Amino acid sequence: MMYFYQAALSPQISAECRFQLSCSNFSKQSISRFGLLKGVALSADRIMKCNRVAMIDARPGDYDVNFRMFDTPSKYHIHR
């Protein structure tokens, strides 16, 4: 389903993602890395942050020169 969204719907809906790793790629990587339950939870959290208000909390090192925030699934891995 994610592949269908990326190929058919995403180009029609959004002009540009605010994140360095697009939300759909973030979702695919999160589900692959953490499993379905945690991956979907992380994906939902990411989608909730996909707006201009979320940029308020960004620090200078959190985004690239095009003002896209860096956010990868590895950021959410807890090392033990």
Instruction: Convert the pLDDT of each residue in 58-76 to its tens digit.
Output: 777 777 777 777 777 887 7
Cα 76 from Cα 42, distance rounded (Å): 8
Instruction: Say what the pLDDT of residue 36 is.
Output: 94
The confidence score (pLDDT) of residue 38 equals: 93
Domains of the chain: which residue ranges?
Answer: 17-73
| Of residues 10 and 24, more confidently modeled | 24
Cβ count near 18 (within 10 Å):
20
The C-alpha angle with vertex 17 and arms to 12 and 19, in degrees rounded to 5, equals 160
Q: Which residues 6+ apart lie within 8 Å of 29 measured at CB?
A: 21, 72, 73
Taking the model in full, what pTM does it have? Answer: 0.66
* 21-67 confidence digits (pLDDT tens): 888 888 889 999 999 999 999 989 888 887 777 667 777 777 777 77
State the pLDDT at residue 10.
Answer: 60
